[in-house]
Amino acid sequence: MNVKIFFLIVMFLSLPASASVVQSRMHSVPISFSFSAATDVQKPVMSVSIDEGTPVYIHKNKIFDCSGSNNHGGGCTRVLFYAMVTGLELNSNGSIGKISLKIGLSKVEVEISSELKKGSCLFDAVLKHELTHLALHRRILNKFAPQIAAAIMTLIESMASEPFNRSQASKINQVLNRFVNQMMQEDQKQNALMDSQGAYWHLQKQCLR
């Protein structure tokens, strides 16, 4: 039932002519939205892709690690939060004209102990619990994504008078870093509320009726 959280901050350092980023492998078709600071083509334009992740289901290990404990309660959900720049286009003065972000979850795993027989009451109860964890991860992702986009837009608007440079790239990554950490902290706090001893007993009690 415990939730194992990782995070990835992608650093990109670039000369004004190009941008380079490192991406982790994605498994889902992202939902996209975009907005512009103004109708003036010289103003920054942003596109954002939200990747809610596609879970991989594992049911082959009796005991497995989950945030430092051994599958307490019989299940575990693991996710990787990330935020990255995936594209950059410059205006004629070298400032950022268009920027693309990708914010999401990757390496999503839902693991159930092989001691729980598939189709049994307890297996179904534990799986339902883990999918509730996954829904919570996604809810937090979708809560923070617009905040991340707005913060990056405000930042690049403040840098519109000068050509894009390494210092600006570092500032963008600092913002992404800060928000990913905020997502992690809120995610850990909210998911911990679901994993009390009382919650585990409630799962077992459902199958003792």
For residue 124, is it left (φ>0), alpha (ψ between -120 and 50) or beta?
Answer: alpha
pLDDT given at position 4: 42
Cα separation, 116 vs 126, in Å, equals 9
Summarize pLDDT for 121-159 with one digit per residue, the tens. Answer: 989 988 988 999 999 999 999 999 999 999 999 999 999
Residue 170 has pLDDT above 90, yes or no: yes
CB 166 within 8 A of CB 105: no
CA atoms within 13 A on the CB side of 24: 23
pLDDT given at position 134: 94
Residue 106 has pLDDT above 60, yes or no: yes
Least Cα distance to 81 among 116, 105, 54, 108 occurs for 105
| Average pLDDT rounded to a whole number, residues 23-52 | 57
Residue 176 has pLDDT above 90, yes or no: yes
Record the pTM: 0.76
Please tell me whether residue 172 adopts helix, strand or coil conformation.
Answer: helix
pLDDT given at position 20: 19
Q: For the chain, what is the mean pLDDT?
A: 78
Residues 6+ apart with CB under 8 A from 179: 83, 144, 147, 148, 151
Cα separation, 166 vs 172, in Å, equals 10
pLDDT class of 27 with cuts at 50, 70, 90: very low
